[in-house]
A and B are shown apart, each in its own frame.
Chain A
């Protein structure tokens, strides 16, 4: 549904463009239904795309979680029998790959897609169809990655897939082929998405919203998209080299020919280190929205939070070799990367400081969203501190490839990123679905996750320092050691903790089901929030805003509700959120016009997926893929951004419809 009709001034009728069926150019009539599955599959609405990203990511969060539980179950007892060595390798590889590429990045993309236009005061992103293309490429990549389970075994080289271990000699199944292609295609989707979101942030802000009046969440997403746009091509190169080696017999990582296996490590980590900031910065952005709202105070030191985020992004490109301290880089490289890595702790510390001072002296409302945000600050700080111990190269040399590393990155990723995302779920659920998540269940959800995560990953510090290597598929009682440092004891604690953690996550899912069925409708402004996404209905209308807001302040919504009292200097409420929304509705724009749905994004993604499968299963399939891509690209290019009258069923009558042709989009 492309057009929101309102009574129109008569002048527009005479200026209606002479749009003819020939201009629509499609071989088939465009999809224009606004209900049913078609309205989702062919949609270009950023909110629907955001929800689909979220559903996709949540599904794979569960898949990755089950993989993790199998790993912990295997290690819960000596001589574990749950998984074979081979299956164990596949399990930890796919656990990491799934969690990073199919949960964390898509979930961040879900939040970014849904809330960027709303926070910026826009009606959609800059390139709505490319937005859909990014989603469907991710789906294609995710399907190819996981198809490997059923087609001869999944990838088994660890998520960083070091060569030559990932070459055809040591990893003969097709698993690694599916892995490279799946990551490649999902990465391609991310690249398109990141270009789209950068242009959206830079170009689609509401009138008056300067960059320094943008919510911190938008800033962090901007930094993340820059990281993606400049790091994804590097992993693309690495994956291409590996694919060519495995599928076409190239020699890039063939040591017998004189190849340098470190080439892969460099290429991977030039991408891989910015990638870890890609994972954490959206969570930082989310809690930078949540903390001020529930502390009833503006964010402390907004410019510092913004610029520390940007500098984390920039310095993040210069520290990749700290993943390779144990490879013998030479003293100069190690020293330089060690110092750069320590330097990155500074902007991160600035952020922790600012969040803490945001809460200082505030009237804190311990909602579930706030609890998760505080949880992030505490748990991420623990993970950050163990991270600093890796920056010290001599200490890192001891810790490399032990459980200490596993403990570190789960504290920053689970304690940091996942807690940030959950904070976002509780904060924004009423906005997206119009119903409040149950706060009581939310409390249980939070505390079980805190206890579970500390029980699971805390003992791994001890295990790692005692020398348990990561990726060890079995431990034996005879060699487990004695007393406080007994491997067996701490492995059992970790496995038990993972069950608690799983129950915590399960409670969230139960909460979602409960809320969907029986949840009470959310008030328009349940948290007394600060940013523009709350100045519209919940869930937002298809066109987001009845009237494009004109921005005067950072936290504009807050400043519309509250004004400084001239005598006391206190902030006094002058309007409620409901009043503001009603006011917007009363002054709604006429003739709001949105981009039309399209078949072509998903068609192109199908073509790319086919091409990917062709790399494994032969040239004829590749050719089919290329033909699909070519054909649907022509469809994509030749269709105007808005459907013609004739494409509607029943056809729209001429007269007051709005017709506009947007650039490529």
Chain B
């Protein structure tokens, strides 16, 4: 990583403030450790990620609102109270919550440049996430067998859409975690490694907080 930073400071990039950074670090002998400087001093990537997450709030807000509006409209098929398995879902919620902890540990390891620990915690996080997705697949299958199809009623359509969207987000997260682990193993990443881990961590935590809301509104509060 070091040589990249060195080179970066010798070059003019398309980032306008790099030139200023070159001057500063030469004058002060200070190593900013970052080739790109920005107007706000904040990382482009993190800013983009927070914006994306702000945008995702409105996506899940819409899906949750649709569910809330339609949750009680059941003309046929089983009612949620007849099929929800609260102990089972509580366990998978707990698994997802703990995966947030392991993700934090992956981020702090990456910031310490401890590659082995980073890889370990990324793998564990991905496994916990995969467990959650597996639980969701099991749950969907069970509900389907009890007569709650996607097209059965308004409750079922909005329930499967909301939780399915969340499940897809978790799945994408698992793929990203495992890919990142592989990329780190192969030492083939192209950016600031700690930041990449942190970015994927932000996404992962977001998926977790969405589930915090879904778990309460969908499962714990009866229709």
Contacts and interface: CB of A to CB of B under 8 A. Distances in A.
The reply, when asked whether chain A contacts chain B directly with Cβ atoms under 8 A, is yes
Interface residues on B, range: 35 or more
A252 B158 contact: yes
B30 interface: no
Interface in B1-41: 3-4, 6-8, 10-17, 19-20, 35-36, 38-40
A664 B69 contact: no
Contact of B161 (A205, A250, A259, A593): A250
Contacts of A245: 157
A638 B154 contact: no
Interface string A616-638: 00000000000000100010011
Given A593-B11, A595-B14, A199 B44 contact: yes
- Determine the main DSSP class of B at the interface with A: helix
B154 A233 contact: no
A99 interface: no
A11 B192 CA distance: 25
Interface string A537-566: 000000100001000000000000000000
A230 to B, nearest CB: 6
Contacts of A251: 151-154, 156-157
B212 interface: no
Given A251-B153, A589-B19, A663 B43 contact: yes
A640 B1 CA distance: 13
A634 B188 CA distance: 12
A634 B59 CA distance: 25
A123 B63 contact: no
Interface string A68-90: 00000000000000000000000
**Secondary structure of the A contact surface, majority rule:** loop
Interface residues of A, number: 77
A15 interface: yes
Given A233-B62, A249-B150, A202 B14 contact: no
B221 interface: no
B11 A199 contact: no
A12 B10 CA distance: 7
What 10 pairs between A and B have smallest CB-CB spacing? A237-B62, A123-B14, A203-B38, A233-B59, A250-B157, A124-B14, A233-B58, A249-B151, A663-B191, A258-B73
Given A259-B70, A637-B190, 9 more contacts: A15-B6, A25-B188, A195-B48, A205-B39, A245-B157, A248-B150, A259-B73, A638-B190, A661-B8
Interface of A: 11-12, 15-18, 23, 25, 120-124, 126-128, 191, 195-196, 198-199, 202-207, 209, 229-234, 236-238, 240-241, 244-245, 248-252, 254, 257-260, 263, 267, 543, 548, 589-595, 630, 634, 637-641, 658-665
24 contacts: A17-B6, A198-B47, A199-B47, A202-B47, A204-B38, A233-B56, A233-B59, A241-B161, A248-B150, A249-B150, A250-B157, A251-B151, A251-B156, A252-B154, A259-B73, A637-B190, A659-B11, A660-B7, A661-B35, A662-B35, A662-B36, A663-B36, A663-B192, A665-B44
